[in-house]
Amino acid sequence: MKKLLTSAGLLLGAGPLARAVNRFPRPDFESGYQYPEYSYAVPNEMLWDIIDVSVLLILLGIVTWALFKKRTRGPILAVSVVSVGYFGFFRGGCVCSIGSIQNIALAFVDPSYSLPIAVFLFFIIPIVFAFLFGRVFCAGVCPFGAVQDLVNVKNFRISRAVSGALSVIPWIYLAFALLYALTRTRFLICRFDPFIGIFRLGGDIGVISFGIVLLLMSIFTGRPFCRFLCPYGAILNVVSRASIFKVKITPKPCISCDLCHDSCPVDAIKAPYGNRTGETPTEGVKRIVIYMAVLPVLMLAGALILRWSSPDLARANSEVRLYEMVTEYEASFSDVMEPEVEAFYSQGRNLAELEASKDEVLKSFRLYSTLAGILIGLVVGLKLLEMSLKRGRKEYEIDYGHCVGCAKCFDYCPQNKILAKNE
């Protein structure tokens, strides 16, 4: 028994001990040799945090002022340039509000995760602004939106039926991003961030190419990333629908000239509509009732599907992958040892412990993928409901969920021209 215990002790000690080697003694110098001194400075993150948050607040303030007081696009364009230059190229794009969703979500479920204050502020400040004034953050403060806006030259319209359906994607992206963040697998939003490689002048070539494709697309259509991918935009969309102050195309009465509708790069201006459908009101009500009833079914279906897929989804997790590698290795004893497997053994870990931690990961994957499935089902159901609501409009109206506050419509409205002339 004693021997068994000592051998166990040796096994445990083998990993860390093996690395603390001192094969050669420290030399005794006779010539009065002095050890060189090195100093390694750690950058002052506090200072940068203060600068970043101040710049964020100032830029948001300028956009808000330009949208609500000045009613002109000039300052917003300037803010876009500053944002792309500062947040984009100079600060390298990290941390951004879009990615901060993951950190916030992780902080809520993982008590061991420490949430840096800058990340929290970058998450909450644009949301607060959206609650007050709409998506002023998207207008030009977000470097991603700004860079797409800056290269935008001529707009071709996308069918609203298609773009309406595509606007579900950010929610699905959000659901998966949360799933992978909460299971500590990886930050999907950061991994597949299309513009960060361009800002940093380097990175994964595939993702950079995707970013370039998006930029080429945004020359001819407004902000494809913001509209069809950005998960933070999805959150801001919901918040800004309920915003307290709302931007108006013109303070004067609308003359229904249709010019603003044409000017909008994100198709957020809805034309007047008489609401004369061929359907009887009861048919419409019936449809809404059916979709209301289908909503829980959709949520359930989403939950079940993602729960079933959770073992596959979990394979992105390093612990699960390591388990696969180690079991594969132990089954075949291949001569080539993956570095992961080598590290696994050299750290003195064993299969039982790895299996336990893998099962833990799988468990959390089951839980969170169920929740993600519910979220996706809910979003699809709500989208269907939203698309079944009939509502008439007498004049051109802004869809506040989609309006990014680029202020392009101001220049187009003839009423504003008159206003300016009168001043």
Partner 1 sequence: MNKKIYRNIAAVTAIFAITLSIMLATNYFQVRKATPLQTEVAETLKELNDMNSNNPQLQEQIRELDLLSRRAYFVSESHLKTGIYLLLAMIGVLVLSLRFYFHDVKNIPDKDIDPVDDWLVKSKSRNYVLWGSGVLATAALLLAFLSSPYYTSLKSKKAAGSDDSALTADSYPVEEELTTDDEYAMAGIVRDETAGDAAAETQTPAEESAATEASGAETAQAAEAAAEGPEIPKVTHNGFRGNNSNGQSSARNIPASWNLASGTNIAWKASIPKPGYNSPAISGRNVFLSGADASGRELYCYDLFTGELKWTLSASGIPGSPSAMPKVNEDTGLAASSVATNGQQVCAIFATGDIICADMDGNKLWAKNVGVPDNHYGYASSLLIYGSEVIIQYDNDSNGKLMALNLSNGNVRWSKDRSEKATWSSPTIAYVDRKPQLVVMGNPAITAYNPDNGDIIWKVDCMSGEVGASPCANNGRIFGANEYVNLVAINGVDGSVLWESNDYLPEVSSPVASRDWVYVATSYGVLACYNAETGELVAEQDLGCQFYSSPMIVDGKLFIFSVEGTLYMFSNNGQLTLLGSINTGENTFATPAFTDGMMVVRSQNGLYCVSSNS
Partner 2 sequence: MKKDKDNEKLVDGSPIKRRDFFRKLGTVMAGAGVAAVGAGGAAKVKGNRKADLYWQIDHEKCIQCGRCETSCVMPVSAVRCMHANKVCGYCDLCGGYYRTNAKELNTAAENMLCPTGAISRKFVEEPYFEYTIDEALCNGCGKCVKGCSSFGNGSLYLQVRQELCLNCNECSIAKVCPSGAISRVSYESAYKFKDHA
For residue 136, which of 66, 234, 69 has the smallest C-alpha distance? 66
Judged by beta carbon, residue 106 or residue 175, the one nearer partner 2 is 106
Judged by beta carbon, residue 88 or residue 126, the one nearer partner 1 is 88
For residue 192, which of 239, 246, 230 has the smallest C-alpha distance? 230
User: Which residue in 253, 278, 281, 339 binds partner 2 (CB under 8 A)?
Assistant: 339
Which x/- pattern over 87-126 shows residues binding partner 2 (rule: CB under 8 A)?
A: -----x-xxx--xx-xxx--xx----xxxxxxxx--xx--
User: Looking at this protein, which amino acid is placed at residue 28?
Assistant: D
CB of 101 to partner 1, least distance (A): 22
Among partner 2, partner 1, none, the one that 116 touches (CB under a kind-dependent 5 to 8 A) is partner 2
Binding residues among 49-68 for partner 1 as defined by CB under 8 A: none
Which x/- pattern over 2-21 shows residues binding partner 1 (rule: CB under 8 A)?
A: -xx-xx--xx--xx--x---
> 378 vs 81, 184, 307, CA distance in Å?
38, 24, 16
CB of 324 to partner 2, least distance (A): 14
For residue 260, which of 159, 63, 411, 81 has the smallest C-alpha distance? 411
For residue 422, which of 251, 249, 256, 248 has the smallest C-alpha distance? 251
Binding residues among 403-422 for partner 1 as defined by CB under 8 A: 408, 412
What the block records as the tokens of 410 is 């101001």
- What are the two backbone dihedrals, phi and then psi, of residue 269, each rounded to the nearest 5 degrees? -110, 120
Among partner 1, partner 2, none, the one that 256 touches (CB under a kind-dependent 5 to 8 A) is none
Burial string for 217-230 (b: 16+ CB within 10 Å, else e) reads bbeebbbbbbbbbb
Quick check: 203 binds partner 2 (CB under 8 A)? yes
CB of 200 to partner 2, least distance (A): 6
CB of 35 to partner 1, least distance (A): 28
User: Looking at this protein, which amino acid is placed at residue 41?
Assistant: A
| Inter-residue contact 193 to 259 (CB < 8 Å) | no
What is the DSSP code (8-state) at residue 273? B
Quick check: 21 binds partner 2 (CB under 8 A)? yes
Nearest 5°: the CA angle 116, 119, 123 is 145
Among partner 2, partner 1, none, the one that 35 touches (CB under a kind-dependent 5 to 8 A) is partner 2
For residue 198, which of 182, 187, 209 has the smallest C-alpha distance? 209
Residue with the two structure tokens 């700004």: 146
Quick check: 338 binds partner 2 (CB under 8 A)? yes
User: Which residue in 5, 30, 69, 281 binds partner 2 (CB under 8 A)?
Assistant: 30
Quick check: 26 binds partner 2 (CB under 8 A)? yes
Q: What is the dihedral of CA 381, 384, 385, 389, to 10 degrees?
A: 170
Quick check: 304 binds partner 2 (CB under 8 A)? no
Quick check: 131 binds partner 2 (CB under 8 A)? yes
Quick check: 356 binds partner 2 (CB under 8 A)? no
CB of 45 to partner 2, least distance (A): 6
Q: Cβ contacts of residue 56 below 8 Å, gap of 6+? A: 121, 122, 125, 126, 141
* Chain contacts with partner 1 (rule: CB under 8 A): 3-4, 6-7, 10-11, 14-15, 18, 150-151, 153-157, 159-162, 164-165, 168, 201, 205, 219, 259, 262-263, 265, 270-271, 273, 275, 277, 298, 301-302, 305-306, 308-309, 311-312, 330, 333-337, 342, 345-346, 348, 380, 383-384, 387-388, 390, 408, 412
